[in-house]
């Protein structure tokens, strides 16, 4: 009897501690920054590989496979900017993090890093963050990556191999040059690699074309865990088709949501926007030229935090930033009804507004 009471008390303490952690420590942890050193920089086509370590060789904060770092820097015009990059390195070691940056034509930070990053530079970044990670269990693991989406899945593949699980990586890229980590992936033990090229060069003996759910189901079956890091539309279609085939354990790292096909009005600080064709409330507000601070558009920087006054919405991206009651990140939600918001900037303005001095009542 007392054993049971003791066990239940321990459980209650655990839940209480967990609650306190989320409530008090998580917002603090999000705000912490790391000054790391680039000890290796490698350019490969449109990709930049970065290896980051502590400048004095100290151990780095522990990361979970699938997590990312937020890098803080400046764009080519010198304006502050931050972006999230998944950790590709084996998270069982804490000596370095490896990141891969794709030089997007209009990428503010990626272009600056691609053009300027050199070994021994110092970079400012967040602690590892994000909730995309390998689920426990012994079920086979099927990882589905497209392009630079390989980065979190590589770290997850290494973890799953260590757990002696059956691991398959289906990797979509345009051509062989775009298959990142290809030589290393081919050498991994106890691991099945299925590269799939949409525009293969002559002589490519592997799979050509696009990944489809039939192929994935053949590789994993109904009981496998499927992890996706691809474009939103591709992921949505594959998950939908897999569920029709009978596979229901699907998890994804959303880069961005699919565009909304419903029209809902969004009102913020007296401005109007509409959700039709937009990937998030933030995109709708930007399209309607509503003034709002933002940066990463991916739930990491926290600049687009707003307060919901009324209306319903759905979460389309994971927020890696703590939000208080009634607060949401505009880049992470889509409305499911008419939505009324206030910007925290506007609230701060109200608080900052100087209070008029008290005046003595005029004598009657
Ligand atoms: S723009 Fe960075 S969290 Fe929304």
Q: 224-255 pLDDT, tens per residue?
A: 999 999 988 899 899 999 999 999 999 987 66
According to the model, what pLDDT value does residue 354 have?
40
- Answer yes or no: is the C-beta of 200 below 6 A from any ligand 1 atom: no
User: How do residues 142-158 score in pLDDT, each as one tens digit?
Assistant: 999 999 999 999 999 99
The pLDDT, as a whole number, for residue 66 is: 94
Count of C-beta atoms within a 10 Å radius of residue 353: 8
User: Residue 257: CB within 6 Å of ligand 1?
Assistant: no
Å from CA of 134 to ligand 1 middle: 25
Closest atom of ligand 1 relative to the 82 alpha carbon: 2
Distance 232 CA to ligand 1 centre (A): 18
| Secondary structure (DSSP) of 99-127 | EEEE--TT-HHHHHHHHH--TT-EEEEEP
Q: Give the residue-averaged pLDDT of 96-105.
A: 94
Across the range 250-269, mean pLDDT stands at 84
Neighbours of 285 (CB within 10 A): 26
Please report which confidence band the pLDDT of residue 294 belongs to, taking 50, 70 and 90 as the band edges: confident
Mean pLDDT of 104-115: 92
- At 130, the pLDDT band (50, 70, 90 cuts) reads confident
- Expressed in percent and rounded to 5, the helix, strand and coil fractions of the chain are 30, 30, 45
CA of 143 to the centre of ligand 1 (A): 27
pLDDT of res. 96 = 97
- pLDDT at 357 (0 to 100): 38
| pLDDT at residue 355 in the model | 38
Rounded mean pLDDT, 37-46: 94
What's the mean pLDDT in 95-99? 97
Ligand 1 pocket member 170 (CB < 6 A): no
Say what the pLDDT of residue 364 is. 35
Q: Is 300 in the pocket of ligand 1 (CB under 6 A)?
A: yes
The 3-class secondary structure across 17-34, one letter per residue, is HHHHHHHHHHHHHHHCEE
- Give helix then strand counts, H and E, for the chain: 9, 19
84 close to ligand 1 (CB < 6 Angstrom): no
- pLDDT tens-digit map of 155-206: 999 999 999 999 999 999 999 989 999 999 999 998 999 999 999 999 999 9
> How many whole angstroms from 303 Cα to the centroid of ligand 1?
5
**Region 325-329 average pLDDT:** 91
pLDDT of residue 34: 93
Whether 280 lines ligand 1, by a CB cut-off of 6 Å, is: no
319 CB less than 6 Å from ligand 1?
no
* Section 265-280 average pLDDT: 93
Q: First and final CA of the chain: distance in angstroms?
A: 79
pLDDT at 141 over 90: yes
CB–CB of 113/73 below 8 Å? yes
Q: How far apart are CA 198 and CA 217, in angstroms?
A: 20
Residue 102 pLDDT level (bands cut at 50, 70, 90) = very high
The reply to whether ligand 1 has any atom less than 6 angstroms from the CB of 229 is no
Is residue 25 predicted with pLDDT exceeding 70?
no
Q: Which of 283, 293, 301 to mutate to test the pocket of ligand 1 (most atoms within 8 A of CB)?
A: 301
**pLDDT (mean) for 48-52:** 97
Q: How confident is the model at residue 359 (pLDDT cuts 50, 70, 90)?
A: very low
pLDDT tens-place string over residues 331-351 = 999 999 999 999 886 555 444
Residue pair 65/133 in contact by the 8 Å Cβ criterion: yes
User: Ligand 1 center to residue 152 CA distance, Å?
Assistant: 20
* SS3 (DSSP) at 257: coil
The token pair that represents 138 in the structure block: 């012994």
Does ligand 1 come within 6 angstroms of the Cβ of 83?
A: no
Distance 203 CA to ligand 1 centre (A): 44
Distance 34 CA to ligand 1 centre (A): 20
If you compute the radius of gyration of the chain from its CA atoms, what whole number of angstroms results? 23
Would you state the structure tokens that stand for residue 112, as one six-digit string? 């600056």
pLDDT of residue 255: 63
CA of 294 to the centre of ligand 1 (A): 5
Q: What is the pLDDT of residues 72-93, one digit of tens each?
A: 999 999 988 888 899 999 999 9
Question: pTM score, two decimals?
Answer: 0.79
Q: CA 11, 324, 70, 211 torsion: positive or negative?
A: positive
């Amino acid at each position: 009897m007392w054993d049971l009471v003791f066990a239940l008390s321990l459980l209650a303490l655990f839940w209480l501690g967990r609650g306190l952690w989320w409530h008090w420590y998580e917002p603090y942890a999000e705000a912490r920054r790391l000054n790391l050193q680039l000890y290796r920089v490698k350019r490969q086509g449109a990709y930049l590989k970065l290896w980051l370590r502590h400048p004095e060789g100290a151990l780095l904060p522990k990361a979970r496979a699938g997590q990312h770092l937020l890098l803080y820097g400046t764009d080519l015009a010198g304006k502050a900017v931050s972006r999230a990059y998944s950790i590709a390195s084996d998270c069982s070691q804490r000596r370095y993090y490896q990141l891969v940056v794709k030089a997007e034509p209009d990428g503010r930070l990626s272009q600056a890093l691609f053009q300027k990053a050199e070994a021994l530079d110092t970079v400012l970044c967040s602690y590892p963050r994000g909730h995309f990670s390998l689920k426990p269990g012994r079920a086979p693991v099927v990882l589905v990556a497209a392009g630079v989406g390989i980065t979190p899945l590589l770290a997850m593949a290494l973890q799953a191999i260590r757990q002696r699980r059956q691991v398959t990586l289906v990797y979509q890229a345009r051509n062989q040059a775009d298959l990142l980590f290809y030589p290393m992936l081919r050498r991994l033990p106890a691991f099945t690699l299925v590269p799939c090229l949409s525009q293969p060069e002559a002589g490519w003996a592997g799979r050509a074309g696009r990944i489809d759910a039939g192929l994935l189901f053949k590789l994993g079956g109904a009981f496998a865990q499927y992890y996706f890091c691809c474009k939103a539309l591709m992921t949505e279609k594959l998950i939908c088709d897999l569920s029709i085939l009978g596979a229901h354990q699907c998890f994804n790292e959303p880069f961005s949501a699919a565009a909304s096909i419903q029209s809902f009005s969004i009102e913020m600080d007296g401005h109007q926007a509409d959700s039709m064709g937009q990937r998030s409330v933030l995109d709708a507000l930007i399209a309607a030229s509503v003034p709002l601070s933002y940066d990463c558009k991916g739930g990491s920087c926290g600049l687009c935090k707003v307060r919901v006054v009324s209306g319903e919405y759905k979460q389309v991206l994971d927020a890696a930033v703590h939000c208080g009651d009634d607060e949401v990140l505009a880049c992470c939600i889509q409305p499911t009804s008419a939505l009324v918001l206030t910007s925290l900037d506007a609230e701060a303005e109200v608080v900052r507004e100087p209070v008029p001095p008290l005046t003595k009542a005029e004598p009657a």
